[in-house]
């Protein structure tokens, strides 16, 4: 096995090779496991995308499986050249991948989407500008709709695995309570939070006639402190008959939507994905949001 510092350099180089030019990548070795794993930060403007990466050597299925077994929290697996079997195994488990041939498939909750392989370019999702050549030449998105659909699918799968805290409280108008009570209360606590789902769509692009359940994202520290959470929401934790659903904020990027009055709205792309996951009338509201707000990468 190569030294950790050298492997970190290979992870950094492989990451830069599949990103547009000019982006910054930081690699920090982890000491949590015995596996060669790293904390990766990709800076895109003022947005920082963070994920956990691991090195799987040559990239055979056995290499990948051994890595994931000792480092199950990986978001992305790197290797010299991932085999078809290894890539299929990772795709089934919704783990991203990047290899040193310049190929990549990565859909993160933060909104970072990287799809780099010849087949994708042939399908027209990405385009390489003609003046650029070589592995570091950047691609640009030419099929935004397809990438948004891929992000929505990945976000929906992630949502299914999230724990939900259900809270019941009384209110006459949930949006007024969000604006005047819940929002200011959460902000005063200094936690990162955002509203999604039907309530967010009503604030961004009104379509639904009423909001029956408010969907919130909050920091993990508050989510696990249920009594404190229930207190700031002005209700009590229940198993059913709830009016509020609370999930852990996937990343700080998810909370970077617009602030409307006292309400911090989630990133519109995240709101869209949550509405699609809910189905029914919520999915109709999602399509309305996409038309009105022009939901796209980073929106």
Q: Going edge to edge, which strands form the sheet with 165-168?
A: 193-196, 214-218, 244-248, 165-168, 236-237
Residue 8: exposed, middle, or buried by beta-carbon count in 10 A (0-12, 13-18, 19+)? Answer: buried
Higher pLDDT, 106 or 131: 106
DSSP, collapsed to helix, strand or coil, labels residue 126 as strand
* Measured distance CA(70)–CA(54) in Å, rounded: 10
142 pLDDT band (50/70/90 cuts)?
A: very low
What does each C-alpha distance from 225 to 167, 247, 249 come to in angstroms? 13, 12, 14
16-68, pLDDT tens digit by residue?
Answer: 988 887 889 999 998 766 789 999 999 887 878 899 999 999 999 999 999 99
Report the candidate in 213, 204, 214 with the shortest Cα–Cα distance to residue 289: 204
Q: Which domains does the chain have, with CATH numbers?
A: 4-142 (3.40.1350), 160-293 (3.30.460)
Mean of pLDDT over the chain: 84
| Residue 79, CA distances (Å) to 85, 135, 265 in order | 13, 16, 38
């Amino acid at each position: 096995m190569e030294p950790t510092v050298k492997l970190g350099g290979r992870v950094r180089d492989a990451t830069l090779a599949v990103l547009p030019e000019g982006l910054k990548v930081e690699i920090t070795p982890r000491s949590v496991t015995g596996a060669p794993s790293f904390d990766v930060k990709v800076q895109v403007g003022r947005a920082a995308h963070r994920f956990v990466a691991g090195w799987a050597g040559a990239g055979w299925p056995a290499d990948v499986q051994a890595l994931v077994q000792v480092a199950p929290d990986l978001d992305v697996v790197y290797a010299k050249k991932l085999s078809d079997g290894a890539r299929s195994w990772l795709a089934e488990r919704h783990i991203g991948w990047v290899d040193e041939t310049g190929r990549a498939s990565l859909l993160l909750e933060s909104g970072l989407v990287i799809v780099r392989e010849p087949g994708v370019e042939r399908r027209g999702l990405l385009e390489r500008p003609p003046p650029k050549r070589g592995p570091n030449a950047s691609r640009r998105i030419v099929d935004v709709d397809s990438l948004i659909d891929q992000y929505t699918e990945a976000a929906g799968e992630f949502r299914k695995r999230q724990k939900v805290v259900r809270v019941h409280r009384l209110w006459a108008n949930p949006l007024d309570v969000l604006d005047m009570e819940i929002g200011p209360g959460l902000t005063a606590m200094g936690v990162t939070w955002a509203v999604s789902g039907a309530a967010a769509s009503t604030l961004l692009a009104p379509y639904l006639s009423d909001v029956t359940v408010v969907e919130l994202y909050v920091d993990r520290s508050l989510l696990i402190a249920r009594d404190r959470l229930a207190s700031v929401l002005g209700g009590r934790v229940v198993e059913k008959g709830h009016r509020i659903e609370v999930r852990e904020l996937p990343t700080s990027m998810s909370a970077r939507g617009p602030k409307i009055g006292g309400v911090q709205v989630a990133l519109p792309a995240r709101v869209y994905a949550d509405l699609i996951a809910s189905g029914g009338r919520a999915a109709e509201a999602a399509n309305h949001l996409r038309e009105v707000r022009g939901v796209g990468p980073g929106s």
